[in-house]
Amino acid sequence: MNYTYTASFITTLLTCLYSAGCTTTPQISYQRDVHPIFVDKCIDCHTPPNGGGYKKTGLEMNSYETLMEGSIYGPVVVPGNSKTSPLNMLVEGRAGNLSLKLKNKHKPITDHEIKILHLWVEQGARNN
Amino acid sequence: MLMTTLLQLMALLLRQAESRHSILCTSMTRICALTALLLFNSISTAGVLEELSVIETNGEYSLRIVYVLDAPKDYVYDVITDYKHGYRINPAITEIEMLLSDRDDVIRVRNHSEHLIGPFRIKIDWVGDIVETGKDRIMVKTIPELSSFKSGFSTWEIRPQGARTRVLHESSMKPNFYVPPVIGDNIMKERMKNDTLAAFKRIECHAMITLALDMEHEPELLKKLLKEGKDCKSTHG
């Protein structure tokens, strides 16, 4: 009786642990998930030659290649490290009042979009 | 120094040319400006370190650095006081917030940084009150109750030296996080020296970029030039 009880307890515990451990993180695609966010929220300003953000920083967000070139101040995406990526710092509100400015002037970026950008950078910021 | 003077001269010429609406003059000046930028790319930052020391007394670390930066004073000052872009100078910063201060002359800033020292990841919270006086002196007081420090104070003196800028920076701080004795102290001192040196080189680099931006409002071209020879973020001490 005791053995049966213990065995069923262990099975239940293992099932719980397995299902918790197997919660998959979605694989983010630049083309499918990330680029549309930039088109909707960023490209207006970050397009040469007259975009305000482009003129100020040299950051062009039309393509993966130009995004990864960064701005005149350096890279904006640090693959695998969303904590120190200026892109993530900005949209997550971790870079002074700049994030507030983005929210006020442009279409606000949603929490879901912030999460997509976070995962994409953490997953290596690939051109997939 | 030659490069800084050349860039400043070009900036002046460009402003004059634009005011006279002379197409030829503007074009000539732009060509000169781009030449200067190319020179800027081909020459590594030429700042001169005059003094750098870190000492530790009863758990308090005191740093003193005197560095002559190869960039004009106003630009250096602007970079140092651009607090919301502090992550450009210190890449370990992962959060910056401008807080409300109860005094008009005080700027209160909060930041969070993460440092990998050997196998350890140290997370540091810092909140400080900044007072800028006379465009050449900055005083920073750490607020211990909101920071990972028991105390902290620093000053910046930013003075022109010809076309260059002489910066004297002194700071002292007492960490509120565990630093292992002997080995930890030495690692801490070395780390402070290296990080400070790297930060000064980035300040110089960004000051030069801002100067170049003032001269030539074509970021695409600028970016191409700068990317070929320079990247402030990857500047190491």
Strands, sheet with B137-142, edge to edge from the N-terminal-most edge strand: B48-57, B60-69, B164-175, B149-161, B137-142, B120-133, B107-117, B93-99
Band of the pLDDT at B237, cuts 50, 70, 90? very low
Q: Give the pLDDT of residue B230.
A: 53
Please tell me the distance from the alpha carbon of residue A101 to that of residue A96, in angstroms, as a whole number. 10
Asked if pLDDT for residue A52 goes beyond 50, the answer is yes
User: Which position has the higher pLDDT, A3 or B61?
Assistant: B61
Residue B84 in domain: yes
The domain spanning residue B70 has which CATH number?
A: 3.30.530.20
Q: Is residue B33 part of a domain?
A: no
Which is more confidently placed, B38 or B84? B84
Is residue B52 included in any domain, yes or no?
Answer: yes
Confidence band of A103 (pLDDT split at 50, 70, 90): low
| pLDDT confidence of residue B204 | 94
**Structure ipTM over 0.85, yes or no:** no
Size of interface A-B (CB pairs under 8 A): 65
pLDDT (0 to 100) of residue B46 = 81
> What is the tally of structural domains in chain B?
1
Partners of residue A79 in chain B, C-beta under 8 Å: none
Higher pLDDT, B26 or B113: B113
Distance, CA of B169 to CA of B76 (rounded, Å): 13
| Amino acid sitting at position B43 | I
- Whether B34 is in a domain gets the answer no
**Pick from B6-15, B180-189, B206-215: least confident:** B6-15
The per-residue pLDDT for range B29-82, each reduced to its tens digit, is: 454 445 555 445 444 458 999 999 999 999 999 999 999 999 999 999 999 999
Reply yes or no on whether the pLDDT at B131 is more than 70: yes
| Cβ contact A72–B222 (<8 Å) | yes
Which residues make beta-bridge pairs with B95? B112
Q: Give pLDDT, residue B135.
A: 87
pLDDT of residue B221: 65
B interface residues, A as partner, C-beta within 8 Å: 83-85, 87-88, 91-98, 114, 206, 209, 213, 217, 219-220, 222-223, 226-227, 231-234
Residues of chain A contacting B, Cβ within 8 Å: 48-49, 54-58, 60, 69, 71-75, 83-84, 86, 89, 94-98
Q: Which residues of B touch A94 (CB under 8 A)?
A: 94-97
Range of the domain at B105: 47-214
pLDDT, one tens digit per residue, over B215-236 is 766 666 666 666 665 567 664 4
**Position B19 in a domain:** no
- With H, G, I as helix, E, B as strand and everything else as coil, classify residue B13: helix
Contacts of A79 (CB under 8 A, 6+ apart): A121, A124, A125, A126
Query: Residues B203-219: pLDDT tens digits?
Result: 999 898 888 877 766 66
Q: What is the pLDDT of residues A58-68, one digit of tens each?
A: 889 999 999 99
pLDDT at A123 over 60: yes
Instruction: Establish if B178 belongs to a structural domain.
Output: yes
Higher pLDDT, B194 or B180: B194
Q: How far is CA B131 from CA A11, B154, B173, B189, B202, in A?
A: 63, 11, 18, 27, 22
Higher pLDDT, B153 or A18: B153
First and final C-alpha spacing in chain B? 20
For residues B190 and B98, give the distance between their C-alpha atoms in angstroms, rounded to a whole number: 30
Report the percent of chain B where pLDDT is more than 70: 72
Write out chain A residues lying below 8 Å of B94, CB-based.
83-84, 89, 94
Scanning the structure block, which residue is given the tokens 């750098």? B52
Round the average pLDDT of chain A to a whole number and report it.
82
Task: State whether A86 and B87 contact (CB < 8 Å).
Answer: yes
Please state, in angstroms and rounded to a whole number, the distance separating the CA atoms of residues B90 and B112: 11
Contact B189, B56 (CB under 8 A): yes
Residue B17 three-state SS? helix
Alpha-carbon gap, residue A42 to A40, rounded angstroms: 6
Kindly report the average pLDDT of chain B as a whole number. 81
**Predicted pLDDT at B210:** 83
Q: A99 falls in which pLDDT band (50, 70, 90)?
A: low
In-domain check, residue B166: yes
Q: What is the pLDDT of residue A3?
A: 60
Give the model's pLDDT for residue A57. 84
CB contact under 8 A, A98 and B84: yes
Which residues does residue B152 pair with via DSSP β-bridges, in sequence order?
A: B173
Residue B20 has pLDDT above 50, yes or no: no
Q: How far is B100 from chain A (nearest CA, A)?
A: 12
Look at residue B148 and tell me if it is in a domain: yes
pLDDT in tens, B141-182: 999 999 999 999 999 999 999 999 999 999 999 999 888 777
Q: What is the pTM of this model?
A: 0.77
